[in-house]
A and B are shown apart, each in its own frame.
Chain A
Amino acid sequence: MDAILLQILNGLDKGSAYALIALGLTLIFGTLGVVNFAHGALFMIGSFCSVTLSKLFSLSFETVDPTKLDFLGNPSKVTTPYVQAWFGPELGAAIIDWSVPLAILLAIPVMLIVGYVMERGLIKHFYKRAHADQILVTFGLAIVLQEIVKYFFGANPISAPAPEVFRGSLDFGPFFGLEANKVIYPYWRLVYFFFSAGIIAAVFAFLRFTTFGMVVRAGMADRETVGLLGIDIDKRFTVMFGIAAAVAGLAGVMYAPILSPNYQMGMDFLVLSFVVVVVGGMGSLPGAVLAGFLLGILQSFASMNEVKSVIPGIDQIIIYLVAIIILLTRPRGLMGRKGVMEE
């Protein structure tokens, strides 16, 4: 019982990450029809917003402390972060401690700009081009973005810890009448789950309840007609691209404490996010979210020792296996629209 409960929690948490990444991708891929191989790189840039901010906050001036020696035997330098000098040691330390959540404020404008520049500078010219060309150009872009990040941050994972208050875990046991310490779950993962749920809800609300969203939805369904109505759909699609980039980036920012950012993390998520989007069905936002949670939960269950002892290695292939089964039983994934990317 407690093991199953734990894996459901894990699945929801994993699923929320998958869903969030897939949501951003499906905005670009399922609706604008651009095969965006740079989506993983957007996620990675989001993660590095966390790293950047904590590095910025930790920018320090050096004073030489003659009492201590560094590894070469020279007097060592003691560093004091500027924020601590400006805001006092305590507030300064708190700011540094909270750099990951604060990075959201940095990531939103950064990702919107990245998305805007990407769409206007590059993707715009590729709406009418073959999917093959889109793959090549976005893959090239992804490599370039990765290499730029590697140039500045190196190839090693960089630790970006969650704020002190969110370290440790919550004991769920008492809520379900189980004994203490049986079902514990880290605070930060719970934060991530609610954060993702919030972002997903916000995107849906935006598309559902605003005029802008309505026009965009109309444009997804029938771009030409909306254009004929005298609406500049291109401009709105640019904004959507920016929003999609921001969603991917935000997924990355808050994931940094769970997965220490490294420059290749985007590629690891790229394949997965394509699988999630397609299993959800092309052109369907709810489908992407549903598929994200479904695959997350199934993967968690497949990782249980009880399951693995029956089918060894099932946890490594479960996502692909489920994808195959779903695509063979439901031709357009869970909730796909007819005629999107079926050519």
Chain B
Amino acid sequence: MSRSNFTRRGLLKTGAVAGTTFALPTIFTSRAANAFTNEPTGSSVTFGFNVPQTGAYAEEGMDELRAQQLAVEHLNGIGDGGMLSTFSSKVLTGAGLLGKEVKFVSGDTQTKADIARGTAQSMIQKDGVIMITGGSSSAEAIAVQGLCQEAGVIFMAGLTHSNDTTGKDRKANGFRHFFNAYMSGVALTPVLQKVYGSDRRAYHLTADYTWGWTQEASIAASTEAIGWQTVQKVMTPVGAGDFSSYLAPVLNSGADVLILNHYGADMVNSLTQAVQFGLRDKQVNGKNFEIVVPLYSELMAAGAGENIKGVYGSMNWNWQLQDAGTKAFVKSFGEKYGFPPSNAAQTCYAQIMLYADAVTRANSFNPCAVAEALEGFEFDGLGNGPTLYRKDDHQCFKDVLVMKGAEAPTSQYDNLEIVEITPVAQVTYAPDHPMFAGGALGDCNPGA
């Protein structure tokens, strides 16, 4: 497959190392000799793809990895170029990055913050990566973002939905393309008001950890703003498996909407069991009982099977969008792997494109130059419509999709349908919004 690759890589790397060492055979070189951490000196530059490959979010991680590999191919001019042709910024030509071939290393985060930090550390120290992307939970993202800040490399977050990633725990070296819990809340609420009315009583089941809390707070705030009452907020242990004892009191509480602030296997199980309890067949307060899952993912929707029919939720992106960028990406991904990409895959792909573009525009790999190029950058054509990378908190602002479990899916891939594309103006908030307060970006750290 990559025979030529071997020799090229081998020769050049050996050449570079030999060049320095033959001149000064036994000198100690401190890392501080470089202008910034892992400054690429050879003919290639390395990205680190830090995704869960084992554990609860392994499938999502693998899908992210597929998109990341695809992005690297496109940057190096292999394949059809995907969203390179639709991206509003035209500086990327598919000839590598600043004349260097793009390479990557991958690692397994096991969906644990601690391990994620370890693998990221090894990518920085051993493989000399200049940028890290990936991850499938907010804890991972926040831990790795913190490390990248300290080590002086750029972190382009993968799937992370907690407000904290670009709120309380925002960092100058970290950037998030994915949307967040607050955006889910404000995007979802108008649709809920339209279909379920403004006189509703909501019961929250919330995964008992930071992401769950920020989502619960966001959804409760925005639903209360349209006149809904919050009957009860109940914390459920992460990985509870059996949610029956939390579901049983719901019907007698006088609530007529159940909001499941769960993700992953918790979401699959709580939704499946809620439907089993017959909640959706019941009438409360003279209205049909409804269930809402604020954060959807394709893979989890598949796990919940038929139970998601008619259930509303939100997403960052979906392959069924009809814009040119989405079409190009879905075609490119689908032809390579045989199925459509997930929104986790899209966010990672877009992040790599955005990073590469910023490097090219800054004409430097220096993380501070790259960060400056990303800050306040406005672009289009990556599948989400016109988007802004806000300078104040390094959060992307773009349209949010409101989704619904499809009533009559025609294949295993369209079990969710797009109900509404909430325009970006509606989900934009002030950088010092109370839900995001308490953090500071700090200064960009180039390391070394």
Contact = CB atoms under 8 A, between A and B. Distances in A.
Interface in A247-268: 257-260, 262, 264-265, 268
A72 B331 contact: yes
Nearest to B334: A72
A156 interface: yes
A71 interface: yes
Given A169-B276, A315-B237, A182 B252 contact: yes
A134 B168 CA distance: 47
A122 B57 CA distance: 32
A184 interface: yes
A189 interface: yes
B330 A155 contact: no
Contacts of A76: 410-411
Contacts of A259: 241-242, 269
Given A68-B410, A157-B265, A260-B304, A167 B248 contact: no
Nearest to A302: B245
Contacts of B18: none
State which size class the interface on B falls in. 35 or more
Interface stretch (B19-27, B192-200, B277-285): B277-285
B303 A260 contact: yes
A268 B245 contact: no
Interface string B231-274: 01011010101101110110110000000000001001100110
B334 A71 contact: yes
Contacts of B278: 167-169, 184, 186
B335 interface: yes
A244 B389 CA distance: 58
Contacts of B304: 159, 260
Contact of A167 (B276, B335, B340): B276
Interface in B323-354: 330-331, 334-335, 339-340
A304 B235 contact: no
Interface string A187-205: 0110000000000000000
A308 interface: yes
Interface string B338-382: 011000000000000000000000000000000000000000000
A257 B276 contact: yes
B56 to A, nearest CB: 7
A308 B248 contact: no
A32 B59 CA distance: 38
Nearest to A171: B278
Contacts of B210: none
A150 B273 CA distance: 24
B213 interface: no
B56 A7 contact: no
Contacts of A71: 319-320, 330, 334, 339-340, 411, 413-414
Interface core residue of B59, B239, B241 (most chain A CB under 10 Å): B241
A148 interface: no
B311 interface: no
Nearest to B53: A155
Given A71-B414, A72-B334, A168-B281, A157 B303 contact: yes
A50 interface: no
Interface in A234-280: 257-260, 262, 264-265, 268
A189 B303 contact: no
A332 interface: no
B242 A258 contact: yes
A186 to B, nearest CB: 4
A258 B281 CA distance: 18
A312 B234 CA distance: 10
Given A70-B411, A161-B305, A184-B278, A305 B234 contact: yes
Given A157-B303, A161-B305, A3 B249 contact: yes
Interface in B199-245: 208, 232, 234-235, 237, 239, 241-242, 244-245
Nearest to B234: A305
A10 B245 contact: yes
Contacts of A31: none
B435 interface: no
Contact of B272 (A9, A189, A260, A304): A260
A9 B335 CA distance: 51
A13 B277 CA distance: 13
A110 interface: no
Interface in A31-81: 68, 70-72, 76
Contacts of A68: 410
B54 interface: yes
Nearest to A69: B410
B303 A159 contact: yes
A134 B232 CA distance: 47
Interface core residue of B273, B275, B282 (most chain A CB under 10 Å): B273
Contacts of A7: 245, 248
A181 B272 contact: no
A12 to B, nearest CB: 11
A189 B244 contact: yes
A157 B269 contact: yes
Contact of A186 (B235, B276, B319, B339): B276
A184 B277 contact: yes
Contacts of B420: none
B438 interface: no
B307 interface: yes
B268 A157 contact: yes
B191 interface: no
A139 to B, nearest CB: 15
A316 B248 contact: no
B127 interface: no
B99 interface: no
Contact of A262 (B265, B282, B410): B265
Contacts of B248: 3, 6-7, 9-10, 185
A316 B224 CA distance: 29
Contacts of B340: 71
A71 to B, nearest CB: 5
A64 to B, nearest CB: 14
Contacts of B339: 71
B55 interface: yes
13 contacts: A68-B410, A71-B339, A76-B411, A159-B303, A169-B276, A181-B251, A184-B277, A184-B278, A188-B276, A258-B273, A260-B269, A262-B56, A264-B55
Given A2-B252, A264-B55, 20 more contacts: A3-B252, A10-B244, A14-B244, A71-B339, A72-B335, A76-B411, A150-B58, A154-B58, A155-B56, A155-B58, A159-B303, A167-B276, A169-B276, A169-B278, A181-B251, A189-B244, A189-B276, A262-B303, A268-B239, A308-B234
Interface of B: 54-59, 62, 208, 232, 234-235, 237, 239, 241-242, 244-246, 248-249, 251-252, 265, 268-269, 272-273, 275-278, 281-282, 299-300, 302-307, 319-320, 330-331, 334-335, 339-340, 410-411, 413-414
Closest 3 CB pairs of A and B: A159-B305, A155-B58, A303-B245
